[in-house]
Amino acid sequence: MRTAYRVEDVRAAERALMARVPEGALMQRAAAGLAAACGQLLGKVYGARVALLVGSGDNGGDALYAGARLARRGAGVTAVLLSPERVHGGGVAALRGAGGRVVDGSGDLPGAGGAVLRADLVVDGIVGIGGKGGLRPGAAELARAAEESGALVVAVDLPSGVDADTGEVRGAAVRADATVTFGAYKPGLLVDPAREYAGALRLVDIGLGGELSAYAPAVEAPQYADVARLLPVPGGESDKYRRGVLGVVAGSARYPGAAVLAVAGALRGGAGAVRYVGPAADAVIARFPEALVSAGPVPKAGRVQAWVVGPGLGDGHGDAGERLRDVVAADVPVLIDADGLRLADASAVRKRGAPTLLTPHAGEAAALLGVERAEVEASRLDAVRELAGRYAATVLLKGSTTLVAGADGGVVRVNPTGTAWLATAGSGDVLSGLAGALLAAGLGARDAGAVGAFLHGLAGRLAAEGAPVGAQDVAEALPAAWRDVRRG
Ligand SMILES: NC(=O)C1=CN([C@@H]2O[C@H](COP(=O)(O)OP(=O)(O)OC[C@H]3O[C@@H](n4cnc5c(N)ncnc54)[C@H](OP(=O)(O)O)[C@@H]3O)[C@@H](O)[C@H]2O)[C@@H](O)CC1
Ligand SMILES: Nc1ncnc2c1ncn2[C@@H]1O[C@H](COP(=O)(O)OP(=O)(O)O)[C@@H](O)[C@H]1O
Ligand SMILES: [K+]
């Protein structure tokens, strides 16, 4: 797992570690890692022009000491001080001692702007984990100049202006090509919109690991090995029932395709068998003769280990409402998606005994929360946690970063494989069938959501390879995604 920790926990761990190491040692470790990363990005340090944007805190200190290291290797380094009266004194002395220049970013604007515009590399040391809100006007202007300069921009610890704990970006912020972060990832580095600002991530070990083990991560991103461990690979004793039978209630006369896509996700995603219940049975059987289909009612469909309900249900007229109620009342794990989210009775969902997985996109999440869609997209972590609490369910929030939160308020999983090529009609239906198949195989709701999102993202990448894909292509690529994960 790639883990990210809350700022208050990182700070507490740093305090504990600082009590055991010589003063300034952590900043030197951070600066050494930062300078090494800058050197690699530059390729050739000697003769390179480097501008440091230096704020009033320790983030600026890191930038100054790293700048001193680069200056000693022959780079022309200019530090732009945003608040010269409150700058890290030791850092400025080190930079000057190494031959670096210092300009007053609050007074000498032409000098500061010129240094940034001429730079090959801009180091953003404006603010780190001590930042509050978007950048202030002076800092915002320099961040804009950095963007316009065409220079490589490296953020120190995190891009200045983004919220480290929530991933929110409420004002101006630095857009970095790379972020060199210290001790531990911060949640905002893994979650959009802040993640977009961070560019490529590099973690510098400053020896914090031992101290951090006292805290639980706030966010974790599963990696290949984590997913491989959870894949329900059939064993010698497996049969189709033990692999998991998934019931699917989806589609309508108006939207038969949603049923086909959900069944496709389930069959290609590893279900032992799929029982489809609803009015799109003919369309399903025409595409998947291996599906078991019936018109309903749900209690007569035969035994299943999990249900998926919702894709393409439409407005809930006719038998659809009854099928939805029956599924919500079932005592096996249930995944509720799309129209099912709108139509399901919230108190019936909350009262369920068996695991429940809700899979809204931002618009559906916004409707459930009674807020604007843009608000959900601006604060995904808050939104997914809030929904999970309200519905006493596991919630998978789809979109540019897919998040999975449990009702227990614990660590939120973030999916690292997503691709914007997945933003195509029906690809969410495929995900619902896939994650449903994983529930039927016996994975818990959090694991089913996280593994489903991981495979879905990977399948999207494999199917797309840089060109448009349809939802069926994503489903067809699921076995290749499985193979990719199993190979590591
Ligand atoms: N602790 C450790 O062991 C280690 C810590 N390390 C490093 O220290 C960093 C944390 O340093 P920190 O605590 O000094 O805070 P920091 O992020 O520099 O910002 C504080 C200053 O920013 C200002 N400011 C705030 N908001 C702003 C805004 N929106 N726009 C503009 N300015 C804004 C605010 O000013 P004020 O509000 O007081 O006017 C305040 O002076 C951490 O990220 C890592 O890089 C490493 O060396 C490894 C060891
Ligand atoms: N910008 C994006 N980056 C990555 N994944 C995305 C993006 N936009 C959408 N997706 C993914 O595409 C899928 C779309 O699902 P959904 O919105 O339910 O579509 P539909 O209802 O048409 O099936 C989800 O898995 C979602 O996470
Ligand atoms: K920064």
Per-residue tens of pLDDT for the chain, all 488 residues:
999 999 999 999 999 999 999 999 999 999 999 999 999 999 999 999 999 999 999 999 999 999 999 999 999 999 999 999 999 999 999 999 999 999 999 888 888 899 999 999 999 999 999 999 999 999 999 999 999 999 999 999 999 999 999 999 999 999 999 999 999 999 999 999 999 999 999 999 999 999 999 999 999 999 999 999 999 999 988 989 899 999 999 999 999 999 999 999 999 999 999 999 999 999 999 999 999 999 989 999 999 999 999 999 998 778 999 999 999 999 999 999 999 999 999 999 999 999 999 999 999 999 999 999 999 999 999 999 999 999 999 999 999 999 999 999 899 999 999 999 999 999 999 999 999 999 999 999 999 999 999 999 999 999 999 999 999 999 999 999 999 999 98
Give the Cβ contact number of residue 444 at 10 Å.
Answer: 16
What angle separates helix 380-391 from helix 362-369, to the nearest 10 degrees? Answer: 60
User: Using CA positions, which residue lies closest to atom 15 of ligand 1?
Assistant: 130
Q: Which of 126, 101, 96, 97 is nearest to 115 (CA)?
A: 101
CATH fold label, 224-487: UDP-N-acetylmuramoyl-L-alanine:D-glutamate ligase (3.40.1190)
Tokens 């990182």 appear where? 10
CA of 428 to the centre of ligand 2 (A): 6
Say which CATH topology domain 2-219 has: Rossmann fold (3.40.50)
How far does residue 399's CA lie from ligand 2's centre (Å)?
A: 5
Whole-angstrom distance, CA of residue 459 vs CA of residue 366 = 27
| 90: CB partners within 8 A, 6+ apart | 24, 61, 65
Q: How far is CA 67 from CA 36, 265, 485, in A?
A: 11, 51, 41
With a 6 A CB cut-off, is 400 part of the ligand 2 pocket?
A: yes
Is 134 marked within a binding site? Answer: yes
- 133 marked as binding residue: yes
162 CA distance to ligand 3 middle (Å): 9
Q: Which atom of ligand 2 is nearest to the CA of 363?
A: 17
427 C-beta closer than 6 A to ligand 2: yes
Substitution candidate for ligand 1 out of 5, 11, 58, 135 with most atoms within 8 A of CB: 58
Q: Are 90 and 61 in contact (CB under 8 A)?
A: yes
Radius of gyration of the chain (CA): 26
Decide if 128 contacts 165 (C-beta within 8 A): no
* DSSP secondary structure code for residue 101 in this structure: E
105 lines ligand 1 (CB under 6 A): no
Ligand 2 within 6 A of 424 CB? no
The residue among 439, 425, 353, 354 whose CA lies nearest residue 396 is 439
**ipTM (interface pTM):** 0.95
Using DSSP, state whether 273 is helix, strand or coil: strand
Contact 4, 194 (CB under 8 A): no
Q: How far is the CA of 75 from the centre of ligand 3 (A)?
A: 21
- Asked if the domains 2-219 and 224-487 are classified in one and the same CATH topology, the answer is no
Q: Is the CB of 155 under 6 A from ligand 1?
A: no
Q: What is the pTM of this model?
A: 0.96
Domain ranges for the chain, please list them: 2-219, 224-487
Closest approach atom of ligand 2 to CA 398: 27
* Closest to 256 (Cα-Cα) out of 288, 278, 237: 278
The HSE-up count of residue 183 (CA atoms within 13 Å, CB side) is 29
Q: Exposed, middle or buried by CB within 10 Å (0-12, 13-18, 19+), for 304?
A: buried
Which ligand has the shortest distance to the CA of 373? 2
